[in-house]
Structure 1
Amino acid sequence: MKFGLISLAHVHTPGYAEQIVKSGNELVGVWDDNEDRLRSFLKRFKTKVYDSLDDLLSTPEIEAVVITSPTSDHLEHIKKALEHGKHILCEKPLSTNVEEGKKILELVNASSSKFMMSFPSRLDPLHLSVKKAINSGIIGDILEVKVRVSHSGAIDGWFSDKSWFVDPIKAGGGGFMDLGVHGADFMRWLLEAEAVEVNGLTFNLTGRYEIDDHGIAVIRFSNGVIGVLEAGWAQSHGYNPLEVYGTQGSVLKLGSESLKIYSRKLGGWFTPDVPGKRETVIERFVSYVEGRKTPLATAEDGYKATEIIQATYISSKLDGRKVSIPL
């Protein structure tokens, strides 16, 4: 498949470019409005630079685009790409808020082009093993899930003060929006249920940026399960744990390669078999566009994840009081 990249603003853009090349697909070209980002990108990848977004989208050989622009630009870029009949892989979050998200959903649903959100947590072999364990019933009915998605971005000053990542208008929020959206989607996918209530608080723990760098949400799902989500840029070291507790056991992910399951039904603790090969986001997207697989995540999945995060921000402004979903 022949790809174009819309914007180099996101830190994940080089990773997508690498996946495109390594998977035997073709990176036809890129458009970005920042010369510094373009120069840096072209040191690693040889591809055409388009003078304008319209020039890239008007190129017939480009079948699909990867949108990695600031989140506030997603609506405009998705609209233009769909108008040109391009298939779209969109970086998270879908939008800065649910109002923009609803407009994107309308555009996607009215188009014949394929659209997929990038939520790579769904492809993690450990996570696939966790989901398999839950669905098999070996830990009984699920009562609670705890997820943490954090790094040291605020502690170590990963972003400049002028970065769009720390601009609430362009990013939709701070550290909790940036990483919490992964956890919000992951919980929905894992539980196959919708969030109905959120109590949350967001914080600026480090003071590095004038925006939140950490947040905590307690989420009640439609099947009665309680989810606890911690996310942000204020974790210096350590792993991002995952804990699932059921009536007949538990699942503990204690590191990037460590998974333990306790099952009363099976008589104790054991280490499950975990798939060795991990499918990449680009591989899944191509398979989806070509009709061989379902999308990794839909525009609606992107909307629902953003909705949970926005509900957390609203709750935080209300001193942690309950916010009902849908907003």
Structure 2
Amino acid sequence: MNTAKTIQRLLLFVALSMLSVLNAAAQQPVRLAIAGITHGHSDWIYNSKHNADIEIVGIYETNADRIREFRERYKLPETLFYSDLGKMLDEVKPEGVMAFGPVNEHITAVRAGAPRRIPVMVEKPLATTYKDALEIERLAKQYGIKVLTNFETSWYASNQYVRDCYKDGRLGQLRKVIVNDGHEGPWAMNRHFVSWLTDPVKNGGGALTDFGCYGANLMTWLMEGQRPVSVTAVTHQNRPDRYPKVEDEATIILQYPELQCVIQASWSWTFSRKDMEVYGTKGYAIAVDATTVRSRLNAKEPETTQKLARRPPPFEDPFAVFAGVIRGTLKQDPDDLYELPVNVTVVEILDAARTSARSGKTVYLKSGTGLGKTTIK
């Protein structure tokens, strides 16, 4: 009897000890490494409101001028920086990697992180080509890691509200979605960012890639992963003097069986905007900005405007979201805006849009996934 009680007490002690260790680990900041810092958003790393969630343990970058700027601005030690991505990951052993370099280097971060079982978050979009997106998807599945894509519009309470209106049946069946994204142009941003943002290889295009990805991401999310039947795109260079290699204007039409989405991506807007209009058979809802929604859900009632509360933590901070996913404290739907299935489809849509713009023809997506599943007509 005494032996049984002793064993029970020992087991209870072990269980409580393990719980204590797990709680202590959950309270520690997540150790993150950074792959590239030339992206304009890389300054978020040291300007985040939620820096307590993360600890930067290594930064990979080969641009000496950008390293110098970053070190001077944030008073960082030379030992934090690496010119070899694999060496950094092996030495600092991070819990996650965030990529803030050219979009065509996202696959490099995943190729390095996946075999080491290190989750990766990239800035939008996931990749420059559908071929790369499919390889990223394969590596993530093979090694059992998360690969997330960060979009600012994932943080918007307005987009969540509009989607809830649709899912609750208040909009009826969707018929038309219009997504407008862009700004006055990137020429005034930091030179390191602009040098690859306006490069058709490193960025995969100009405004079509930079801002067309937002609409493709939101629309695929609204459609719970459903791919469009066809993609038609028109691009133009309004300012070839500023952007000689890429388009600064793009319109993309996604056609579904009973629904059309128009994505207007531009580096020629009068001012910065990220808004979405969703029209159904019963009513419409328009996400004007992060927290403002205009809607008319009944033909007999006038349009109303609502100001929403901001999304609660951690949803307005990509570092905190990534930390929560790594720790397992944040569970996301498989078709969440950040998740891989949606963002592989985003790159498929962008690839088809580039093909359509070059050919002047509509690109039809065949059923299933994989390369070669498109037809031009």
TM-score over 0.5 (shorter chain): yes
Aligned with residue 66 of structure 2, among 37, 50, 65: 37
Q: How many residues align?
A: 325
2:156 and 2:311 in contact (8 A); partners too: no
CA shift in 2, pair 1:256/1:112, >3 Å: closer
> Alignment identity in percent?
22
CA shift in 2, pair 1:239/1:100, >3 Å: closer
RMSD: 2.3
The 3-state SS of whatever aligns with 1:181 is helix
The 3-state SS of whatever aligns with 2:303 is strand
When normalised by structure 2's length, the TM-score is 0.79
Matched ranges for 1:1-327 at <5 A? 1-19=30-48, 22-45=51-74, 46=76, 48-153=80-185, 156-158=187-189, 160=191, 163-192=195-224, 193-207=226-240, 208-210=242-244, 211-221=246-256, 224-237=258-271, 239-264=273-298, 267-272=301-306, 274-278=308-312, 279=315, 280-295=317-332, 296=336, 297-324=338-365, 326-327=373-374
Residue segments in structure 2 that go unaligned for 5+ positions in a row: 1-29, 367-372
- Give the AA of the match of 1:217: I
The 3-state SS of whatever aligns with 1:235 is coil
- Which structure has more helix as a fraction of its residues? 2
2: distance between equivalents of 1:105 and 1:256? 30
Return the offset for 1:248. 1.0
2:230 and 2:362 in contact (8 A); partners too: no
2: distance between equivalents of 1:175 and 1:299? 22
- Give the AA of the match of 2:329: R
The 3-state SS of whatever aligns with 2:65 is helix
CA shift in 2, pair 1:110/1:74, >3 Å: same
CA shift in 2, pair 1:43/1:258, >3 Å: same
2: distance between equivalents of 1:213 and 1:197? 23
- Give the AA of the match of 2:212: G
2: distance between equivalents of 1:200 and 1:30? 38
Whose Rg is larger? 2
1:21 and 1:27 in contact (8 A); partners too: no
2: distance between equivalents of 1:158 and 1:60? 31
When normalised by structure 1's length, the TM-score is 0.91
1:142 and 1:245 in contact (8 A); partners too: yes
- Give the AA of the match of 2:362: R
CA shift in 2, pair 1:145/1:3, >3 Å: same
1:139 and 1:264 in contact (8 A); partners too: no
Residue segments in structure 1 that go unaligned for 5+ positions in a row: none
CA shift in 2, pair 1:288/1:61, >3 Å: same
Return the offset for 1:77. 2.1
The 3-state SS of whatever aligns with 1:241 is strand
1: distance between equivalents of 2:230 and 2:255? 5
- The superposition leaves residues 103-153 of structure 1 with CA deviations (integer Å, 9 ceiling, x where unpaired) of 111111101232212123122111111111111111211111000111112
CA shift in 2, pair 1:276/1:254, >3 Å: closer
1: distance between equivalents of 2:55 and 2:196? 29
